Amino acid sequence: MTAPTGDGFDQKARDAVYRAMFTRRDVRSHFTSEAIDDEVLARLLLAAHHAPSVGFMQPWNFIVIRDVARREKVRDLFLAAREQELPEMEAERQALYRKLKLEGISESALNICITCDRERSKGSPLGRWHNPEMDLYSTVCAVQNFWLAARAEGVGVGWVSIIEAHALKALLSIPGHVTPVAYLCVGRVSQFAPRPDLETHGWGQRLPLPELIMSETYRGQGEAPLKSTVARLKSVEAEPHGQRVAPAVPQREPPKEASALSFNSLNLEDASASR
């Protein structure tokens, strides 16, 4: 017996899940000073806590950082790290790099450091003996759950990765066996940008998805029907705003030939995402 398509997710519910993904942004520039209710923050943390984890290990902790002085110290770490990273960029991109806003540490409502306790499954490391990094990956899944739930709550999240981990660990008293996986700026926003900042500022552009699909082996040719289906979905992304059709009717599967159109309701034109 096969569960019904979506197992309780009608078209509208599926669209909501996709919309959270397509309109999620790595927020740096649009934080407001508005506080975040504990009610909302609790739901985001519960979402993170329901991430998959290898061997049901749940290796994560959540350090909530509100203190302004501490956050300024974290921002100093970022500024120092940015200066160190800058020379690593291709010469012709350094001016652009300097212009990019890459964090919202102080102006967001709060920061959260999501950590991974590498020893939490000591004794029975199910699924980690060959791939010990799986606990870090589980923690990243928690970050992504947090990020998507935040998008659905109208809360912006930005991941600051330009930071020296040992300095951050010292500042937050994080012990040796614990890895800070993500340092997040979290807050209400004035807007979610229609496109990723790095795309808007010309740092990069979205890669064509069909070219990222391989068949059976690395660089394996094949999957032509899948690739052309993907290409059709992508073409919706590039359509001008005015050509969007109305959202698909809930509970009805769109006809196969027009399936790409159902994505129009997700505002995909504005939905290319970077971090």
d(CA 97, CA 19): 29
Size of the site for a second copy (CB under 8 A): 142
* Minimum separation from the CB atom of position 105 to a second copy (A): 14
Cβ-Cβ contacts under 8 Å for 58 (sequence gap 6 or more): 49, 120, 138
**By C-beta, is 78 or 240 nearer to a second copy?**
78
Which 211-270 residues touch a second copy, going by CB under 8 A? 212-220, 223, 225-226, 229-230, 232-234, 256, 259, 263
- What is the C-alpha to C-alpha distance for residues 221 and 214, in angstroms, rounded to an integer? 6
**Shortest CB 14 distance to a second copy, Å:** 5
Q: Which of 143, 185, 186, 248 binds a second copy (CB under 8 A)?
A: 143
Of 47 and 185, which has the nearer Cβ to a second copy? 47
- Calculate the alpha carbon distances from 179 to 79, 145, 238 in Å: 21, 19, 40
> Which DSSP letter does residue 10 get?
-
What is the x/- site pattern for a second copy, positions 165-204, by CB under 8 A?
A: x------xxxx--x--xx-----xxxxx---x-xx---xx
Q: Which of 73, 107, 152, 194 binds a second copy (CB under 8 A)?
A: 152
Cα 142 to Cα 144: distance, rounded to the nearest angstrom: 5
Helix (H, G, I), strand (E, B) or coil at 86: helix
How far, CA to CA in Å, does 270 sit from each of 22, 25, 81, 183, 186? 8, 11, 32, 26, 22
Site string for a second copy, 48-77 (x = CB under 8 A): -xxxxxxxxxx-xxxxxxxx--x-------
The footprint of a second copy on residues 103-122 (CB under 8 A) is: 115
Q: How far is the CB of 196 from a second copy (least distance, A)?
A: 6
